[in-house]
Copies of this chain bind each other. A is one copy, B any other.
Amino acid sequence: MKKDVLIIGAGGVAQVVAHKCAQNNDVLGEIHIASRTLSKCEAILESVREKGAMKVEGVLKAHQVDAMDTAAVAQLIRDTGAQIVINVGSAFVNMYVLDACIETGAAYIDTAIHEDPAKICETPPWYANYEWKKRDLCAEKGVTAILGAGFDPGVVNAFARFAIDQMDEVKSIDIVDINAGSHGKYFATNFDPEINFREFTGTVYYWEDQQWKETSMFASGRDWDLPVVGTQRAYQSGHDEVHSLSANYPQADVRFWMGFGEHYINVFTVLQSLGLLSEQPVKTAEGLEVVPLKVVKAVLPDPSSLAPDYTGKTCIGDLVKGVKDGEEVEMFVYNVADHKEAYNEVGSQGISYTAGVPPVAAAMLVASGDWDAKTMKNVEELDPKPFFTILDDIGLPTRVKDAKGDRAWNA
């Protein structure tokens, strides 16, 4: 059954979501997009029209909404009749939008954990601080809420589930995210700098020996030899999916590794050491209160502006180790995406593409009923196979590399 979609947000990821919803509007129905700035929504819809992305004729409409105003979002859901809300707005708005979905009964899908603007890196597991507090309420009201359904978190959670399903016992899950692309700028972040840096300024939590352990950013690095992108150095980083996978597979070690070049680390280190990545306001000599991180964001390139010149590939995957029939086994489940191809298809760079395609696949599975769970779920709690099948079709094919070779997941 076709289900109408309301997209919240109008950044680079929202652009991908809008294009992908349009390309699949025979499964999804009306496409509504809403953000604080109406003109940004309209610009996205204009790009959808330019590419002729709508598969069948249908509704494509922009709205203005303050996503931190639950009543306003609920009203918009009622006004548009949306049955699925894909929230790709700022991570600060999640709980307000989720509340609006619970209130109206619409299905909720997001791609990143909720954050309080005033706090960095809260106590683990992060989902327990906000989202999971609403789990019982979702179940009680029969509201589908799929948390963290981007690439990482999202597809990588499904990768883990897929590998674990083929083992008798799981021992470790290492998620590796490498962007081997080049944007040609002196420095830029691939998504909202505020969220990007917030991710790296706090304690790095990881799950080992059935307990939370801590390290700090760039303190723990290793080289990974990966398909297509080759050998790449990645560093343990704090990331959403560690906080749900560790709850679902407490017997496994769960770590997240992000690739960084020396130049990125140098710029990051300078900014952080000076205090310019702080989310706490400072006062200028003139008495103006200002959050340094917001100023850094203001001077950096808009991530969506990187798309036209972005070249190269990303490789994101899970190395899962475990036991099968009494033998130690391991499997690397992964995807490789190309920045240029993403831009040519939807006008966005590869990082936005990998983040924006999966929630649309999730929405299609909610529409088809496969993932219409009528409660709150993290992605590893859902069947990965229909997810991979859709992702194969719509631009993010899943591959597997293990003792038997390198192949499509269903080969």
| A410 adjacent to chain B (CB < 8 Å) | no
Picked from B266, B275, B298, the residue with its CB within 8 Å of the CB of A299 is B275
| A121 adjacent to chain B (CB < 8 Å) | no
Task: Take A290-B288, A290-B290 as given contacts and tell me if A186 and B295 are in contact as well, using a CB distance cutoff of 8 Å.
Answer: no
Picked from B187, B284, B300, the residue with its CB within 8 Å of the CB of A295 is B284
| A292 adjacent to chain B (CB < 8 Å) | yes
Q: List the B residue with the shortest CB-CB distance to A90.
A: B285
Distance A271 CA – B271 CA, assembled complex (angstroms): 8
Distance A274 CA – B297 CA, assembled complex (angstroms): 10
Interface of chain A residues 138 through 174 with chain B (CB within 8 A): none
Q: List the B residue with the shortest CB-CB distance to A288.
A: B290
| A294 adjacent to chain B (CB < 8 Å) | yes
| A327 adjacent to chain B (CB < 8 Å) | no
Distance A194 CA – B271 CA, assembled complex (angstroms): 17
| A286 adjacent to chain B (CB < 8 Å) | yes
Q: Is the CB of B284 within 8 A of A288?
A: no
Q: Is the CB of B296 within 8 A of A285?
A: no
Picked from B270, B284, B297, the residue with its CB within 8 Å of the CB of A271 is B270
Task: Take A270-B266, A270-B270 as given contacts and tell me if A276 and B294 are in contact as well, using a CB distance cutoff of 8 Å.
Answer: no
Picked from B273, B285, B298, the residue with its CB within 8 Å of the CB of A284 is B298
**5 closest residue pairs by CB, A with B:** A275-B299, A282-B298, A284-B294, A270-B270, A186-B273
Q: Which chain A residues have a beta carbon within 8 Å of chain B's beta carbons?
A: 186-187, 194, 266-267, 270-271, 273-276, 278, 282-286, 288, 290-292, 294-300
Assuming A274-B300, A295-B295, what are 12 further A-B pairs, CB within 8 angstroms? A187-B270, A187-B273, A267-B270, A270-B270, A274-B299, A276-B276, A282-B299, A284-B290, A284-B294, A285-B297, A286-B294, A290-B295
